[in-house]
Amino acid sequence: MSALQPPNRRRTAALAVTAALLVPTLAACGSGDDQQNDAVGSPSASTAAEPKAANLTVLAASSLTDVFKTAGAAYEKAHPGTKITFSFAGSQELAAQVKQGAPADALVTADTKTMDSLKAETGDPAVIAKNRLVIAAGKGNPFKVGALKDLADTKIKVVLAAPEVPVGRYSKQILDAQKIEVKPVSQEPNVRAVLSKVEMGEADAGLVYKTDTVKSGDKVVVVDIPDAENAVASYPAATLKGSKNAGAAAAFVAWLSSPEAQRILQDAGFQKA
């Protein structure tokens, strides 16, 4: 028969056994916590959802020229390392560039029809802004143009965008709806060219987007067109499937619908999407 151990010695032995059993458990818990902390705190985990900085090329409708310069600067400031280069042209020209495989990352057109024709080349588009047409009359409005019907006067040199251009298509739409026949002295490749003709005195009036006249000053007189006689232009934006910066391109397109970008667009006269 073995001798009984004193109470203090038995208690000490029991504590030693308990401590020995707890050490592996605590070690395992500590190891798991360390791994979790490393995963959360590591640069790769914290930046996994963030698009890498990139040089983006964005094809955009001519009527976005001024506002996108402001928007681009704001985006670059908020995303250090990202550089955005815009290429502005008529939407039909941009569509041709995309179909020809021009290296670009995102596209913003002045109508949904053009964007819809590029479904094979783009991601899902989202409308980021809207616009309306106005009559831009020459400095001082010498012919007293006050309504769409006045553009039918053959004494007035009217310039329009070509019918394949979104603003040209909208112009034809509203003139046809009012049964107004206009014989333009020229048909331009984009809305900026129409406005330029009027500003330089080469035309007496033209149909342009309201936002295009914001910086014209006294070079033109803006004549509003009633909503019932007007057309609403929608601006969809989408990433391009051929982009080599897919994540960064998607981030920029998504940002265009953000409160900051919408404020910039609306300050420039665009309507809420």
Share of the chain above pLDDT 90, in %: 79
Mean pLDDT across the chain, nearest whole number? 86
Better pLDDT: 50 or 201 = 201
Residue whose tokens read 């009036």: 205
**What element of type H or E holds 40?**
helix 7-41
131-232 has the same fold as 55-130+234-267: yes
Say what the pLDDT of residue 23 is: 40
0.85 surpassed by pTM? no
Average pLDDT over residues 232-250: 97
Q: Is the pLDDT of residue 52 over 90?
A: no
Average pLDDT over residues 90-103: 96
Q: Which amino acid would we find at residue 249?
A: A
Q: How confident is the model at residue 134 (pLDDT cuts 50, 70, 90)?
A: very high
Say what the pLDDT of residue 51 is: 65
Burial 233-271 (b: 16+ CB within 10 A, else e): bbbbbbbbeebebbebbbbbbebbeeeebbebbeebbbb
Backbone phi and psi for residue 250, each to the nearest 5 degrees, phi listed first: -65, -40
Other CB atoms within 10 Å distance of the CB of residue 7: 8
Average pLDDT over residues 96-111: 97
Residue whose tokens read 């709806």: 177
Pick the CATH number of 131-232 from 3.20.190.10, 3.40.50.720, 3.40.190.10, 1.10.3720.10: 3.40.190.10
Residue-range domain boundaries for the chain: 55-130+234-267, 131-232
Say what the pLDDT of residue 36 is: 37
Q: Is the pLDDT of residue 80 over 70?
A: yes
**What element of type H or E holds 126?**
strand 126-138
Say what the pLDDT of residue 50 is: 56
- Distance (Å, rounded) from C-alpha 206 to C-alpha 195? 7
Q: Is the pLDDT of residue 41 over 70?
A: no
Pick the CATH number of 55-130+234-267 from 3.40.190.10, 3.40.630.40, 1.20.1260.10, 3.30.310.50: 3.40.190.10
